[in-house]
Amino acid sequence: MKSAEDMVALFRQQGLKITPQRRAIFETLAEGAVHPSAEEVYRRVQEGLPDISRMTVYNTLRELVALGELVEVEDVSSSAMRYDTETGNHHHLFCLGCHALVDVDQSFEALELPQAAAAGYRIVRHQVTFYGYCPTCQKSNPR
């Protein structure tokens, strides 16, 4: 994630307006959790801006996704979308116990699908997700 100021500049450059609400959302994203849900962003922004609407958060997140500054990530078994502030190519480590989602910077460049298996698809990217149990959940749920 770029800094809040970068986001402000980007929005201006696109002819989009800078409101106190948007500024607060930028700041929350720049400082906050790595994979927040829309609801989490809303709650955090609300701490400093109690009257903000959930709507505005959704709108602004959507703009950021459209501008390529945020990437939507599926949250396995929770039905809520999460937003990834790291837009570069990276992978994920997901805890089956507590649903924590961690970035893995490792890049699996060598990972390629043989022509025969690609079924004529033009592949643009790939994403590896490792499923497991984080240290905390290993203790409370040993096996």
Is the Cβ of residue 54 or residue 90 nearer to DNA in the bound state? 54
Query: Which of the residues 61 through 120 are near a second copy (CB under 8 A)?
Result: 72, 74, 76-77, 79, 81, 93, 95-96, 102, 104-106, 108, 111, 113-114, 117-120
The entry of DNA, a second copy, none near residue 88 (CB within 5 to 8 angstroms by kind) is none
* Contact of residue 62 among a second copy, DNA, none (CB under 5-8 Å per partner type): DNA
Which string of b and e fits 4-25 if b means at least 16 CB within 10 Å?
beebbebbeeeeeeeeebbbbb
Nearer to a second copy, 6 or 108 (CB): 108
Give the Cα separation of 6 and 36 in Å (integer).
20
Q: Which is nearer to a second copy, 17 or 122 (CB)?
A: 122
> Is the CB of residue 36 less than 8 Å from the CB of residue 17?
no
Q: Integer distance in angstroms from the first to the last C-alpha of the chain?
A: 37
Residue 111: count of CB within 10 angstroms of its CB: 9
Instruction: By CB under 8 A, name the binding residues for a second copy.
Output: 72, 74, 76-77, 79, 81, 93, 95-96, 102, 104-106, 108, 111, 113-114, 117-135, 138
